[in-house]
Amino acid sequence: MSLSRRCFLAASATSAASAQTKPYAGRTMVVVTAHADDFTIFAGGTIAKLIDEGYAAHLIRITNDEKDSHNLGPGETSHRNTVEMRLAADIIGIKEIQSLDFRNDELDPVSETEIRARLILLFRKWKPYTLFTFDPSAKYEENPDHKKTARAAEDAAWTSGVHLFLQEHFTLGLQPWAVLDRYYWARSPEGHDVNQVVDITNHIDRKINSIQAHKTMMMHTAVQLKAKLARTGLRLPLLDTLNEENVNKLVDIQTRERAAAVGSKHNMKYAEHFHYIPVLGEGSYVQRNAVPLK
Ligand SMILES: [Zn+2]
């Protein structure tokens, strides 16, 4: 066997192995999060897993997170939450972050069309195959930033592919680009809302570490929880001393418990669940008859 033939075989074996471990090489996802910690809490395990399997990921944060701390002013709060979001994104493996920096919990006067326009520009730039965001139809969502983010992202996913929206983008060399599939996360999805369960057993530690990276937000959550319990005459012994170590423990316990509860219904140790919208309708004429382009 000639040397070049051996090299060719070795190269084929390597690319076959890489196709097995990186089935999504070349694909891009965009994660649209209202706040710094949403994507880690709701989808951190799945995003990390897909990145390991070849996806390149970009993150868009809609707000500036200026209100999520228990003892800092708005400027310092926003700064710390932004720095900690970068750390969390690094743990998950997300490359680039763009923050739109709309004021936290003040989105009401901002039109959905404006947020959508900001998203369309980035979708056309990054050409995401996959979108991760909040479920715009989530029943028990109470956070106004989550709701508006979900609607604007869903809208941008298809309008970015239409040439009559924001035509000035094309003078910059951008092209229309519609998102292909979508993973929607929700606070308490019910029944048929969940049609995609992802085994994150091998990614649970990274998910937990990424949530713990949001130190300011997690401490705020713990402080609020302790105060709420106290008002009802209760205490959580773990939070008797409010420090980073105990807050991290609480994050670890709660994240494992939630992922285990989802996983136990599907024979998995730890899982995350989504409403998934595929490229083609399941069992549709198009899905049954589409053939490879080349
Ligand atoms: Zn949030």
* Residues 116-158 pLDDT 10s: 999 999 999 999 999 999 999 998 899 999 999 999 999 999 9
Residue 200 and residue 53 in contact, taking contact as beta carbons nearer than 8 Å: no
- What separation in Å is there between the alpha carbon of 77 and the centre of ligand 1? 15
- Closest Cα to residue 88, out of 99, 76, 97? 97
Each residue's pLDDT tens digit, 85-121? 999 999 999 989 999 999 999 999 999 999 999 999 9
- What is the tally of structural domains in the chain? 1
CA of 187 to the centre of ligand 1 (A): 10
In order, the DSSP letters of 178-242 are ---EEEEE-SS--GGG--EEEE-GGGHHHHHHHHHH-HHHHHHHHHHHHHHHHHTT---GGGSS-
Centre of ligand 1 from the C-alpha of residue 54, in Å: 27
| Residue 165 resides in a domain | yes
Q: How far is the CA of 186 from the centre of ligand 1 (A)?
A: 11
Point out which residues pair with 273 in neighbouring strands.
197
On whether the CB atoms of residues 57 and 128 are closer than 8 A, the answer is no
What is the rounded distance in angstroms from the CA atom of residue 56 to the CA atom of residue 70? 34
Give me the mean pLDDT over the 264-270 stretch. Answer: 97
Q: Which residues pair with 60 in a beta bridge?
A: 32, 98
Cα(293) to ligand 1 centroid in Å equals 40
Question: Two tokens at 202?
Answer: 């091998």
The CATH number linked to 53 is 3.40.50.10320
DSSP symbols for 167-182:
GGGGGGT-------EE
pLDDT of residue 16: 57
> Is 19 within a domain?
no
- Residue 191 CA to ligand 1 centre (angstroms): 23
What count of other Cβ atoms lies within 10 Å of the Cβ of residue 230? Answer: 11
pLDDT for 18 equals 62
| CA 134 to ligand 1 center in whole angstroms | 10
**Which residues hold their Cβ within 5 A of ligand 1, which is an ion?**
34-35, 38
Give me ligand 1 centre to Cα 35, in Å.
5
* Cα(11)–Cα(4) distance, integer angstroms: 10
Centre of ligand 1 from the C-alpha of residue 37, in Å: 6
pLDDT at 10: 44
pLDDT tens string 67-90 = 999 999 999 999 999 999 999 999
- Interval between CA 137 and ligand 1 midpoint (Å): 16
8: in domain: no
Taking the centre of ligand 1 as the mean of its atom positions, its distance from the CA of residue 147, in whole angstroms, is 10
Residue 96 covered by a domain = yes
Residue 294 lies in a domain: no
How many angstroms separate the alpha carbon of residue 234 from the centre of ligand 1?
26
How remote is the CA of residue 145 from the centroid of ligand 1, in Å?
Answer: 7
Domain housing 55: 24-280
Q: How far does residue 238's CA lie from ligand 1's centre (Å)?
A: 24
Report yes or no on 69 lying in a domain: yes
Reported as a single tens digit per residue, the pLDDT across 12-52 is: 444 555 667 899 999 999 999 999 999 999 999 999 999 99
Task: Measure 158 CA to ligand 1 centroid, in angstroms.
Answer: 24
Indicate whether 180 belongs to any domain.
yes
What is the tens place of the pLDDT at every residue in 206-230? 999 999 999 999 999 999 999 999 9
Contact indicator for 43, 274 with CB cutoff of 8 Å: yes
CA of 12 to the centre of ligand 1 (A): 45
**Residue whose entry in the numeric block shows the structure tokens 């369309």:** 120
The Å distance, Cα 197 to ligand 1 centre, comes to 21
Q: If you measure from the C-alpha of residue 67 to the centroid of ligand 1, how many angstroms do you get, rounded to a whole number? A: 11
Per-residue pLDDT at 17: 58
Ligand 1 center to 144 CA (angstroms): 9
The pTM of this model reads: 0.92
Report if residue 3 sits inside a domain: no
